[in-house]
Structure 1
Amino acid sequence: MAIFSCATGGKIASLCASADLGPSQGSLAYRFGRKGAIELKHPEARALPDQAFSTAVIGDAGFAGDIVRFSRGETRYTLYSIIVKGQGERDGILVSRGGRRLAELKCEDSALGADAWKLLYRAKLPKAEPASLD
Structure 2
Amino acid sequence: MIRRSRIAVLALFVFCLPVASGGAADGRPSLCRGGEVAVFSCATGGKIVSLCASADLAADRGSLTYRFGRKGALELVHPDPPRPPGAAFSTAVVGDAGSAGDIVRFSRGDATYTFYSLTVKGQGDRDGLVVTQGGRRTHLRCRDFALGDQAWAPVYRAKLPRAEPAELDLPR
Q: How many residues align?
A: 133
1:38-57 maps to which residues of 2 (within 5 A)? Answer: 38-57=74-93
- Runs of 4 or more, structure 1, over 3 Å off, are none
| Native 8 Å contact 1:94 1:101 kept in 2 | no
Counterpart of 2:103 in structure 1 is 67
3-state SS, counterpart of residue 131 of structure 1: coil
Let me know the Cα RMSD of the aligned residues. Answer: 1.0
1:19 Cα shift?
1.2
Higher strand share: 1
Give per-residue Cα distances to partners, 1:49-105, cap 9 Å, x unaligned: 00000000000110000000000011000000000001100000000025x342000
Counterpart of 1:5 in structure 2 is 41
Greater relative CO (CA pairs within 8 A, separation 6+): 1
Q: Is the aligned partner of 1:83 residue 2:147?
A: no
Gaps of 5+ in 2: 1-36
Identity of aligned residues (%): 67
Task: Specify whether residues 81 and 101 from structure 1 end up closer, same or farther in structure 2 by C-alpha distance, changes over 3 A only.
Answer: farther
Q: Give the aligned residue type for 1:130.
A: P
Gaps of 5+ in 1: none
Q: Is the aligned partner of 1:30 residue 2:71?
A: no
1:21 Cα shift?
0.7
Structure 1 counterpart of 2:157, from 118, 122, 126: 122
* 1-structure distance, mates of 2:153, 2:69: 26
Structure 2 counterpart of 1:19, from 55, 61, 64: 55
Q: Is the radius of gyration larger for structure 1 or structure 2? A: 2
Higher helix share: 2
Q: TM-score, normalised by structure 2?
A: 0.75
* 2-structure distance, mates of 1:114, 1:53: 21
Counterpart of 2:144 in structure 1 is 109
Counterpart of 2:4 in structure 1 is none
Q: TM-score, normalised by structure 1?
A: 0.96
Q: Give the aligned residue type for 1:111.
A: A
3-state SS, counterpart of residue 119 of structure 1: helix
* 2-structure distance, mates of 1:54, 1:101: 21
